[in-house]
Chains A and B, each alone.
Chain A
């Protein structure tokens, strides 16, 4: 088994312990399991999948999975900009890329040994040279992120983790608003995402993973949250 070298967590041990201080024995157990799982770079088995785990660590890994997907998407968007991209759109998409990469790296650092492995995306359905294809995919990812965080909030037990999820979901909502308005001006709170009470729609873990696994070669399951097969 290939061991992953992590250059970003050298000084993060204390921080990680602080982050996980309430998770105690549960985190340690997950860490042991995590250490025995295969990492990226290993030859992929026929069905490449990872389970987010249970409890708060499971929810944090769920967020980590979504952030990995978003980060990979925007890295590609910025690396191969679509034709006709404006100066403003380049700036916005670069900013969003930076935010999503930081969210991804934050979860990876904070979760440490309890983190799920790196996911391999599958963006074969997205035409990165086409503005509409890219922005529609971006809208899907941002809207999905908002619905995912809002739908999983009640499952979180530690209030500190709920606050962290809240800090991130409002930024995802800002992204979602921006992307929607880039596609269709004034569509930032349309009924596809916001209900008749003016409340953002939310979705379950099973609904979200069912939607995003189509963009992942590494399938994500959540056996503790009613989504145990792909």
Chain B
């Protein structure tokens, strides 16, 4: 391993690498001059630590970027529940309490994220144009009855909540180094998961009642080959990867069934993956 060769390679794509590493330059020199004393095996660790110091803490711009991405998703969700709530009689009486609480949470998320972005000196993005039928503003998308049929509404809600969980999970590592924002993001992530489980239970109870054996479960129970457990094939992409059975390099297939292994771990999606799933369908482009 040649440390400076690596730094030079990075310099080609990041001219500021030396500035980033500047506080650590002494450390680099020390490693070079005392090279014979540094165990070769320790080099990757030392290198990783230096790069983590240089790149690990999220820049304010990166944090604002993640927050605006999150805000876009929350606009989508809040707008969805607000539109559903505006349709008299769409929700059965027993479910109104559930939907109202989720609606309130999503609107609070929008307000909170806008405030945090502002406090960091950023500019909050505007709410996107949306089409909750999934038809990219042409109407008559796959969920054409979303605001006239409660079961369709719940199916879309479930996909939004499960996808929201995946989105926050995927973005969290970008926030490492910012305790306040990361902790808040993880807190929203958990609430989206609480919502997802509640929506899933509402759907199950409509199909099976509350006491019989459930068939729609509060967690994502994938098969070995298909992440999507909703039965809504158009949402396959939203669940792609949930069938993963390897965690931290450990294949868990020998410890439990695919149903258990996949349900016990939720999988992340990157920002690009999430936007590819939403833009051109629910978010108008």
Contacts and interface: CB of A to CB of B under 8 A. Distances in A.
Interface of A: 8, 12, 14-19, 21-22, 24-25, 86-89, 91-92, 95, 98-99, 101-103, 105-106, 109-110, 146, 149-151, 153-154, 156-157, 159-164, 166-178, 181, 185-186, 188-189, 194-202
B247 to A, nearest CB: 6
Contact of A170 (B183, B214, B266): B266
B213 interface: yes
Contacts of A101: 256
A73 to B, nearest CB: 16
B97 A173 contact: no
18 contacts: A12-B250, A24-B42, A24-B44, A24-B45, A87-B213, A88-B211, A91-B214, A106-B252, A150-B190, A154-B182, A157-B52, A157-B176, A163-B173, A166-B268, A168-B265, A169-B186, A174-B219, A175-B219
Interface size class of B (residues with CB under 8 A): 35 or more
The binding surface of chain B is classed by DSSP as helix
The binding surface of chain A is classed by DSSP as helix
A177 B198 contact: yes
B167 to A, nearest CB: 11
Contacts of A200: 186-191, 194
Nearest to A60: B248
A105 B255 contact: yes
B143 to A, nearest CB: 23
B172 A153 contact: yes
A199 B266 contact: no
A15 B27 CA distance: 31
Given A106-B248, A166-B189, A88 B214 contact: yes
Interface of B: 41-42, 44-45, 48, 52, 56, 94, 97-98, 101-102, 104-109, 111-112, 165, 168-169, 172-173, 176, 178-179, 182-184, 186-198, 201, 208, 210-214, 217-219, 247-252, 254-256, 260-261, 263-268
B188 A19 contact: no
Contacts of A195: 187
Report, nearest first, the 9 A-B pairs whose CB atoms are least far apart. Answer: A18-B249, A159-B173, A198-B108, A173-B193, A24-B45, A198-B105, A199-B187, A200-B190, A177-B197
